[in-house]
Chains A and B, each alone.
Chain A
């Protein structure tokens, strides 16, 4: 049906599935509320349909358009059935509760409008550019798309997906198939092997990510701070460049980021819809790349440590239950990998063995230096990471609490994790090659997390300043209330 129409058809189907799954929470809401959840719906459909197709592949089915239609229809019917059959009082527990945006002054309104317009302009350019650019990353055509096409046309043929015999095995056989399945569906809908479909899909995912994040944080952060924070992230030249790379690094970063936003909303306000979204988005993050699982684990561990006191053990416990649910969706694939002797490149056992053997050399130093360099590079990532670190200290001082320092903690753990990965999986001989060819991509997730933290930290500082203002003005807080 053509490049743009083909990708749009797939995404409209994913959007419809997402809305059907969200219907239980949106039923009874106004039309504009439904529309405002468009990004969340698309991200939900885009997360779950390919995850379900991964299970279909392991079960012996093909991931062709017929399977896509069957899975999409099944999920949509399940969602609509839940929305229809669940008693109203149960539905009320998960129903969306739109919050009005905090009132701001005229200047802040103008800033919000201008930043929002700039965001829209960039996303329009991303969408146009995606459909006009072939991916620059060879992984896109060397492994991601061919794997999806093989799952579509041949099913899960172990001769291609596991090292064996006389057939040429796909590169990185330990990688999961979410991105492969999505890109194959796009190409199928386009009707030809057109690599630009991958970049078009990345543009759509980035747009859905921005829309979903703004929806979930709306009412919790002042619009001017939310728009400016998101603008700084989306305007980062390297994010825009990688959105035209065709690889899976941007999708995994977006879904880890969306998981982080949902975790924040759940722990802060206890909204059940956010908890469900944690499971949905984390399941996709785990099935996009190997590093999705450890990065989700880092996120959950950090959230548990910093929010234990404020959120309480019940919310923390349910958070881990959602994470376990997300992981369980990947179990069939993990079992298949184990049965076919396809070990993960990120092996905890190997890493610990090298750790105990003190087999570090200069690899650790080189990896840390390279990762920090890439994460702080101002031409690539503007000032996202240093600003997040400064604001986290500022928010901690302004609010006289340690919680905002979690941003620095997560970034530090992320960088240590990746340093450990390079240290434990690369030899002295190939470390520099691997750092050069992949470090600039693996930092996308921590930087997206830092970018998402910007509006939250700005809000924390602004909230603390507003709370102190009456005291500074010599007025009693009670009068303000």
Chain B
């Protein structure tokens, strides 16, 4: 037992030491995502294809209670409007449920669209989270 254990300790020490040196430890640093090996974002936020204002979305998440929510985004950007924004909103806004029908929504997130309050909707309250981003509580 002594020989393999001693070897393991020596090799482990060498590997961990080289992890802090330029060159030899690059692979370990890349896996650990530290120092010069860092190649991925170290953030709690989801990595989306379309850039999203996560700060505003998290602010909205803190406001939204239960009920149903609807997201409005520019249709010209399907990645944003059909995937990234609804996905991140669902992640952050639960337990509110995502609906595909505006008239059923208790909450509406208008993201980069004008007007911020859609036609036919009466807003009980509006939070302006950022320029062109607003959260609406709907009066039914």
B63 CB, nearest partner CB in chain A, Å: 15
Q: Is the CB of B3 within 8 A of A244?
A: no
Q: Closest CB-CB distance, B20 to chain A, in whole Å?
A: 12
| B16 at the binding interface (Cβ < 8 Å) | yes
A435 at the B interface (CB under 8 A): no
Chain B interface, number of residues (Cβ within 8 angstroms): 47
Q: Is A146 an interface residue (CB 8 A)?
A: yes
Contact of B99 among A118, A133, A168 (CB under 8 A): A168
B77 partner residues in chain A, CB cutoff 8 A: none
Grouping DSSP codes into helix (H, G, I), strand (E, B) and loop, the B interface class, with mixed when no group exceeds half, is: helix
Q: Is A336 an interface residue (CB 8 A)?
A: no
B90 lies within 8 A of A168 (CB): yes
Task: From B10, B11, B33, B95, give the contact of A128 (CB < 8 A).
Answer: B33
Q: What is the bound-complex CA distance between A129 and B94, given in angstroms?
A: 28
* B residues less than 8 Å from A240 (CB atoms): 31
Contact A244 B40 (CB under 8 A): yes
A117–B43 contact, CB under 8 A? no
Q: How far is the CA of A2 from the CA of B43 in the complex (A)?
A: 14
Whether a CB of chain A sits under 8 angstroms from the CB of B5 is yes
Q: Determine if B44 is an interface residue (Cβ-Cβ < 8 Å).
A: yes
Residues from chain B with Cβ under 8 Å of A140 in the complex? 46
Question: In whole angstroms, what is the CA distance A109 to B3 when docked?
Answer: 6
- 1/0 per residue, CB under 8 A from A, across B2-16: the answer is 011111111110011
CA distance A145 to B90 in the complex (A): 10
- B101, A166: Cβ atoms under 8 Å? yes
Residue of A nearest to B104 (CB): A166
List CB contacts (< 8 Å) of A114-160 with chain B.
114, 116-118, 120-122, 124-126, 128-129, 132-136, 138, 140-142, 145-146, 149-150, 153-154, 157, 159-160
Instruction: Pick out which of these stretches binds chain A: B81-89, B107-115, B117-125, B126-134.
Output: B81-89
Residue of chain A at shortest CB distance from B14? A117
Given contacts A125-B31, A154-B94, A168-B98, A117 and B45 within 8 Å (CB-CB) = no
Residues of B within 8 A of A400 (CB): none
* Minimum CB–CB distance for A458 against chain B, Å: 17
CB closest residue in chain A, given B29: A125
- Whether, in the assembled complex, A113 has its beta carbon less than 8 Å from a beta carbon of chain B, the answer is yes
Is A315's CB within 8 Å of the partner chain B? no
A126 contacts across to B, CB distance below 8 A: 31-32
B92 at the interface (CB under 8 A from A): yes
Given contacts A193-B91, A223-B4, contact A134 B43 (CB under 8 A): yes
Whether B8 and A195, one on each chain, are in contact in the complex, defined by CB atoms closer than 8 angstroms, is no
Contacts of A196 in B (CB 8 A): 42-44
User: Are B91 and A168 within 8 A (Cβ)?
Assistant: no
User: With A128-B32, A133-B33, A193-B44 in contact, do A121 and B16 touch (Cβ < 8 Å)?
Assistant: yes
Query: Taking A126-B31, A153-B94, A154-B97 as contacts, is the C-beta distance between A106 and B3 under 8 angstroms?
Result: yes
Residues A154 and B32 in contact in the complex (CB < 8 Å), given A117-B15, A134-B40: no
Contact A125 B91, CB 8 Å, known A132-B33, A141-B46: no
- A412: CB under 8 A from chain B? no
- CB-defined contacts of B10 to chain A, threshold 8 Å: 113, 117
Contact B32 A125 (CB under 8 A): yes
- Whether A117 contacts B83 in the complex (CB less than 8 A), given A128-B32, A196-B42, comes out as no
B100 within 8 A of A: yes
Check B97–A113 contact: CB distance below 8 A: no
Q: Indicate if B34 sits at the interface (CB-CB under 8 A).
A: yes
Task: Select the residue from B34, B40, B68, B88 with max chain A CB neighbours within 10 A.
Answer: B40
B48: chain A residues within 8 A (beta carbon):
138
A240 to B42 alpha-carbon distance, docked (Å): 16
Is A194 on the interface with B (CB-CB < 8 A)?
yes
Contact of B22 with A by CB under 8 A: no
Task: Flag if B98 contacts A129 (CB, 8 Å).
Answer: no
Kindly supply a per-residue 1/0 record for chain A positions 226-250, scoring 1 wherever the CB is within 8 Å of any chain B CB and 0 otherwise: 0000000000000010001000000
Sampled A-B contacts (26; CB under 8 Å): A110-B3, A116-B8, A117-B7, A118-B11, A118-B15, A120-B12, A121-B15, A121-B19, A124-B32, A125-B29, A126-B32, A138-B48, A145-B91, A146-B87, A149-B91, A149-B94, A160-B97, A160-B98, A166-B99, A166-B100, A167-B99, A167-B100, A194-B44, A196-B44, A240-B31, A244-B33
Extra contacts besides A117-B11, A120-B12, A149-B94 (6): CB < 8 Å: A117-B12, A121-B12, A122-B31, A167-B68, A168-B100, A195-B44
Residues of A within 8 A of B (CB): 3, 106, 109-110, 112-114, 116-118, 120-122, 124-126, 128-129, 132-136, 138, 140-142, 145-146, 149-150, 153-154, 157, 159-160, 166-168, 192-196, 223, 240, 244
Listed from nearest, the 8 A-B pairs whose CB atoms lie closest are: A113-B7, A117-B11, A113-B4, A194-B44, A141-B46, A117-B12, A153-B95, A168-B98
